[in-house]
Structure 1
Amino acid sequence: MKPIWIVDDDPSIRFVLEKALLREELPTRSFSHAGEVLQALEAAGEAGPQILISDIRMPGGSGLELLNKVKQKRPGLPVIVMTAFSDLDSAVAAFQGGAFEYLPKPFDVPHAVELIRRAVQESQREQVAEVRMQEAPEMLGQAPAMQDVFRAIGRLSQSNVTVLVTGESGSGKELVARALHRHSPRADGPFVAINTAAIPKDLLESELFGHERGAFTGAQALRRGRFEQADGGTLFLDEIGDMPFDLQTRLLRVLSDGHFYRVGGHSPVKANVRVIAATHQDLEQRVREGAFREDLFHRLNVIRLRLPALRERREDIPMLARHFLQQSARQLGVEPKRIADAALARLSCFAFPGNVRQLENICHWLTVMAPAQVVEPKDLPPEVLAEPPGAGQAEAGAPQASPPGSNEAAPPAAALEPAAPLPAVVPSQPWEAALEAQARELLASGQPGVWDALTRRFESRLILTALSLTRGRRIEAAQRLGIGRNTITRKIQELDLDE
């Protein structure tokens, strides 16, 4: 790991932080003034620090000036600003300059270490995401339905219009959002993604809009929300259909006039953000049920871009499978597996209820579990072999209807319609049948706590599998599972998986 750089003219502060971080096995490098840091950054090249911790008031240049210069050179570097002058102006100036967090002196050392660890985790998460974006193509697809999506992205490339991406879970909606951002006038700005269904309701408001210091228990410092983090760029709101109803009102206000208030705040904050939303749900039905605001739906539904399910683009399966096998091999540091034509044919007949994400997971599984370098049909995972050949070949009809109207050039009709609903009954996979048998046995025996026992085993197996694939990297494992880094840490402790 890269070292944590500490800059403070007070040697006692540097000493305390160095010793505290040394106990946590975190490497450090210390400086006494801003000029030393800037010189070291120039000399470090691509190396540099993992995060920077800087005092505000120092001789020879303030921490805020240093923050500004560092952000110009390394915009992705998290900077924690600390000062003995705990006034509002310093806090506001720090966050406006792009600081990760604000730490008033005197500080509690365990709290400071926890804050630093959070900044390190955030930095590592961003590095993993950046490497993935650089290594992997934006999107792959030769099928006509995917070519329609590519054409739609091209037509929207010079637009800032709000886009609603629809499609089944696992079909790649975030990839579409990233492509829209990368080819937009905002490409040099940040791309910030948040899954509104994955964050508890009582925390989602603070995640989106930030909070003022003291706004609630545990709010020890001012925190910028995702809207502020995405300033000048794009905010991707995934699973928007699951957003709590009361927060939908606040989101509508931001989309209407571009202003919002932090939790506990009294001054409006301007949001210069392009919003791209995504959902696997039928929002019109959610509106009819009273679970989604109609006015918010129309505000989001300026351009609707429909992403096809994998079963509608089966000709892309061989190309995607080879790509994911190569990608998995790079991540695990092994020789890429090759897949026989017969195995590809069997794979292409599978229904893929989990879409492209499920195909990616299968390729990870094959990289680890397939016994030979060439994957044969018998090596495919149980869920593929359990489905009779051709069972997933039912053709999906492409509904034809006009796209929602707007001032923008409308994308092709094939890319704009809501996805066809999934069948009412999905055939059970072998593991589901085994789970049902185990549940029946425990319930019939009258054993107490069946729910907790099976849930514990299920969560343990999921987390251990993810950690195995990521070689113990918790942040990457959490990303693959679709949960937060705090959640996976808490679950590992609750389930005694540290041992």
Structure 2
Amino acid sequence: MKPVWIVDDDQSIRWVLEKAVQRAQMPVQSFSSAQAMLDALPQAEPAVLVTDIRMPGQDGLTLLQEVKRLRPALPVIIMTAYTDLGSTVEAFQKGAFDYLAKPFDINEAVALIQRAAVAGQEPLAPAPAAEPGRGSIMMTSASVAMQDVFRAIGRLAASPATVLITGESGTGKELIAHALHEHSSRASGPFIALNAAAIPRDLLEAELFGHERGAFTGATQLRRGRFEEAHNGTLFLDEIGDMPFELQTRLLRVLAEGSFYRVGGSQAVSVNVRIVAATHQPLEQRVAQGQFREDLFHRLNVIRLRLPPLRERKEDIPALTALFLQNSARSLGVPVRRLTPAAMQVLAAFNYPGNIRQLENFCHWMTVMSSSQVVDTKDLPPEITAAQPREPVHVPPDAQPSLAAREAAGHASAEHVRGPGDGLRPEVEGVAGTQWTDTLGHEVQAKLHRNEPGIMATLAREFETVLLNTALAHCRGRRAEAAQRLGIGRNTLTRKCQELGID
């Protein structure tokens, strides 16, 4: 077994670490200076290097840089009592495996050294291959629902028909629009995209149709709009459901006649454009509410493609994860991360309210935050680990209410107490007669004992999930009423339902 090398000018630190590593049945060798370690490096092959950052002569960061030049695969752990941001960032930039702040828990230090030793045995990952085209992210799938989408794209290749793409945010609607364009007879023409929700309503008309010189204050020259830019190509109108009602009339006229007037213009402009629209909103519902023109809806709804959310195509998660990890490694110039089977199983079990975009963000997080090439369950993002089923909370016997207290609480729960100004109301109690805040306290205590990360975010998410589900069930799914009863806006409730994956 290769030894662990320790470099520190403090003899007591070297002695403590030596004894701890030896108890873990790992060979160890110590050095009092960076130069002594470098002198021994050509004749030996350490498994892990643990070095102090501030030492007489050559410091730890300079040693790290030199070791990475000579032995790129050797894991280096930097330890220091000076935990300033600058030295931390510089250590990771120069390739440190991890950072150990003094004073440290000796068991945690040994566990970190053991992880580094395992990581050092992994072969260096080859350089990532050239990045695939953006459309290939969506054009490979084992999902039956996506296969139906692929077949539709093939059938639409020779058709100029208008297409409406529906699906939740983050499902890849623009990528499918690109694929429709690239596989059509207009592939040699331009692909122009416009997000109707991202442009202020006062500017959206000029963005779509352009404007003449002097049409309004600041219009110092003629400007072509997106329709003219997309001539003989494809115009992708994203978030069409958010288009202002008055502008929908102008769009309908263009779809019907193939011509329009620039803002401030008097001469009709004819264009040959294929329209691909997309929305995450239920347009039928917006039509019923008077927020979307019915005639425009029927003009757009010639061919409809529904993109399934990622939770309905989980068989694609391993392939998408591998692709996103490769892309992240390439962009950062680091080895490609690999997931253990257990980590992949946990990753695939997540609900993904943000769909493919959220998975891509998770892969970038793992590439940045994982210190090893192999990502295990403990290295997954906190949003994923927080969503896993938890062990039952153990409440110490002395923390549980006595029999008399439970009986008194049970009796009180059957009674009614009068609140100020609100008549009779039942007293709300938690499990076993305790207040729900007491139960929450036990839950927090248990999480603290388990050293769980992100406790505040986890419990806040769970609290909001219970709150929204209960209110929606009470109001029989009527979101406007549920929002009013909760004292929040309907848009806020809708956004939180999307974030929490509540249907």
Query: Normalising by structure 2, what TM-score?
Result: 0.51
* 2:369 aligned residue: 369
**Residue number in structure 2 paired with 1:239:** 239
- Rounded to whole Å, the distance in 2 between the matches of 1:375 and 1:334 is 14
> C-alpha displacement at 1:364, in angstroms?
1.0
* Match of residue 186 from structure 2: 186
1:248 is paired with a residue whose SS is: helix
AA aligned opposite 2:314: R
- The one-letter amino acid of 2:203's match is L
Amino acid aligned to 1:268? A
AA in 1 matched with 2:179 = A
Residues 170 and 138 (structure 1), Cα distance of their counterparts in 2 relative to 1, 3 Å cut:
closer
Deviations 1:269-313 (A, max 9, x none): 112100000001100000000000000000000011111010001
CA contact (8 A) 2:386 2:458 kept: no
Amino acid at match of 2:383: E
Query: Which residue in 2 is equivalent to 1:212?
Result: 212
Distance in 1 between the 2:345 and 2:338 partners?
14
Measure the CA separation in 2 of the matches of 1:239 and 1:291. 14
Task: Output the amino acid matched with 1:325.
Answer: L
Q: Which amino acid aligns with 2:241?
A: G
Q: Tell me if the contact between 2:210 and 2:262 (Cα under 8 Å) persists in the aligned partners.
A: yes
Q: Which residue of 2 aligns with 1:150?
A: 150
- Superposed CA offset, 1:1-20 (max 9, x none): xxxxxxxxxxxxxxxxxxxx
Q: Which amino acid letter does the alignment assign opposite residue 167 of structure 1?
A: G
Gap change, CA 1:135 and 1:279, over 3 Å in 2? closer
The 1:135–1:196 alpha-carbon spacing in structure 2 relative to 1, beyond 3 Å, is closer
Matched, 1:199 2:199: yes
User: Contact conserved, 1:167 with 1:279, CA < 8 A, in 2?
Assistant: yes
Letter in 1 for 2:181: H
Instruction: Tell me, yes or no, if the aligned pair for 1:350 and 1:389 is still in contact at 8 Å.
Output: no
Hey, what's the Cα distance between the residues in 2 that align with 1:436 and 1:318?
Answer: 27
For 1:172, the aligned partner's letter is G
Structure 2 counterpart of 1:346: 346
**CA displacement, residues 33-92 of structure 1 (integer Å, 9 cap, x when unaligned):** xxxxxxxxxxxxxxxxxxxxxxxxxxxxxxxxxxxxxxxxxxxxxxxxxxxxxxxxxxxx
For the structure 1 residues 149 and 134, does the alpha-carbon distance in structure 2 shift closer, same or farther, using more than 3 Å as the test?
closer
User: How many equivalent residue pairs?
Assistant: 270
Amino acid at match of 1:160: P
Shift of 1:366: 1.0
Corresponding residue SS for 2:388: coil
Task: Tell me if the contact between 1:139 and 1:175 (Cα under 8 Å) persists in the aligned partners.
Answer: no
For residues 247 and 188 of structure 1, the distance between their equivalents in structure 2, rounded to whole angstroms, comes to 29
Partner residue, 1:451: none
Residue 313 of structure 1 pairs with residue 313 of structure 2: yes
Offset at residue 139 of structure 1 (A): 2.5
Answer yes or no: is 1:141 the counterpart of 2:124.
no
Q: Aligned equivalents of 2:301 and 2:168: distance in 1?
A: 17
Query: CA distance change for structure 1 residues 169 and 376 in 2, over 3 Å: closer, same or farther?
Result: same
Q: Residues of 2 paired with 1:209 and 1:246: CA distance?
A: 14
* Change in 2 beyond 3 A, CA 1:177/1:380: same
Question: Residues 248-283 of structure 1: CA distance to partner in whole angstroms, max 9, x if unpaired?
Answer: 001000000000111111111112100000001100
| Alignment CA distance shift 1:135-1:274 (3 Å) | closer
SS at 1:292's partner residue?
A: coil
Structure 1 unaligned runs (5+)? 1-130, 391-427, 438-499
Alignment correspondent of 2:304 = 304
Q: How much does 1:434 deviate? A: 6.4
Rounded to whole Å, the distance in 2 between the matches of 1:138 and 1:187 is: 18
User: Once the two structures are aligned, what percentage of the paired residues are identical?
Assistant: 66
2:57 aligned residue: none
Per-residue CA deviations over 1:72-131 (Å, capped at 9, x if unaligned) read xxxxxxxxxxxxxxxxxxxxxxxxxxxxxxxxxxxxxxxxxxxxxxxxxxxxxxxxxxx8
Question: Are residues 1:378 and 2:370 paired?
Answer: no
- Which whole-Å CA distance do the structure 2 matches of 1:389 and 1:315 have between them? 21
Instruction: Using the TM superposition, give the Cα deviation of residue 372 of structure 1 relative to its aligned residue in structure 2, in angstroms.
Output: 1.1
In 1, Cα distance between equivalents of 2:248 and 2:376: 49
Could you tell me which residue of structure 2 aligns to residue 450 of structure 1?
A: none
2:251 is the counterpart of 1:251? yes
Tell me the amino acid that sits aligned with residue 374 of structure 1: V
SS of 1:318's equivalent in the other structure is: helix
Match of 1:295 in 2: 295
Evaluate the alpha carbon distance shift between residue 429 and residue 350 of structure 1 in structure 2; reply closer, same or farther with a 3 A threshold.
farther
Asked if the contact 1:383/1:430 (under 8 Å) is kept, the reply is: no
| 8 Å CA contact 1:346, 1:389 repeated in 2 | no
Gaps of 5+ in 2: 1-130, 391-453, 464-503
| Matching residue of 2:424 | none
* Native 8 Å contact 1:238 1:278 kept in 2: yes
Alignment of 1:462-481 (within 5 A): none
Q: CA RMSD in A?
A: 2.3
* Structure 1 residues 344 and 389, CA gap change in structure 2 (3 angstroms): farther
Contact 1:386 1:430 survives alignment (8 Å):
no
8 Å Cα contact 2:326/2:336 also seen in 1: yes
Partner residue of 2:59? none
Quote how far apart the aligned CAs of 1:388 are: 2.0
Kindly indicate whether the alpha-carbon contact (under 8 Å) linking 1:162 and 1:303 is maintained by their aligned counterparts in 2: yes
Q: Are 1:164 and 2:164 counterparts?
A: yes
The structure-2 alpha-carbon separation of the partners of 1:157 and 1:346, relative to structure 1 and needing over 3 Å to count, comes to same
Partner of 2:346, secondary structure, is helix
CA shift for structure 1 position 132 = 7.3
Equivalent positions of 1:311-460 (< 5 A) are: 311-389=311-389, 431=457
SS of the residue corresponding to residue 263 of structure 2 reads: coil
Larger radius of gyration: 2
Q: Is the 8 A contact 2:227 2:271 kept in 1?
A: yes
Task: Please say if residues 241 and 279 of structure 1, whose CA atoms lie closer than 8 Å, have aligned partners that are also in contact.
Answer: yes
> 1:133: how far off?
3.8
Gap change, CA 1:340 and 1:274, over 3 Å in 2? same
Q: For residues 306-358 of structure 1, what are the alpha-carbon distances to aligned partners after superposition, in whole Å with 9 as ceiling and x for unaligned? A: 11010001111111001100111122222211111111100100000001111
Deviation at 1:432, TM superposition (A): 8.2
- What does residue 12 of structure 1 align with? none
Amino acid at match of 1:161: A
User: Which residue does the alignment assign to 1:443?
Assistant: none
- Give the Cα–Cα distance (whole angstroms) in 1 for the partners of residues 302 and 331 of structure 2: 39
Contact kept in structure 2, 1:382 and 1:430, CA below 8 Å: no
Report the 3-state secondary structure (helix = DSSP H, G, I; strand = E; otherwise coil) of the residue aligned with 2:221. coil
When residues 271 and 430 of structure 1 are mapped into structure 2, their CA distance, relative to the original with a 3 A threshold, is farther
8 A contact 1:190–1:232 mirrored in 2:
yes
For the Cα contact (< 8 Å) 1:239–1:278, is it kept in 2? yes
Q: Which amino acid aligns with 1:238?
A: D
Residue 229 of structure 1: aligned partner: 229
What is the CA distance between 1:169 and its match in structure 2? 0.6
CA distance in 2: counterparts of 1:213 and 1:149, whole angstroms: 43
Give the letter for the 1:229 counterpart. Answer: E
Kept after mapping to 1: 8 A contact 2:206/2:263: yes
1:215 CA drift (Å)? 1.1
**Partner Cα distance (2:212, 2:293) in 1:** 28
Matches within 5 A, 1:20-99: none
Shift in alpha-carbon separation, 1:335–1:347, aligned structure 2, 3 A: same
Q: In 2, distance between residues paired with 1:307 and 1:429?
A: 34
Question: What displacement does 1:159 show?
Answer: 0.8
Deviation at 1:135, TM superposition (A): 8.6
In the aligned structure 2, how far is the partner of 1:154 from the partner of 1:262? 35
Q: How does 1:251-270 map to 2 (within 5 A)?
A: 251-270=251-270
Deviates more, 1:298-307 or 1:335-344: 335-344
Q: Which amino acid aligns with 1:378?
A: K
Amino acid at match of 2:311: R
Which residue in 2 is equivalent to 1:105? none
Write the distance in 2 (CA, Å) between the matches of 1:433 and 1:211: 52
SS at match of 1:157: coil
SS of residue paired to 2:323 = helix
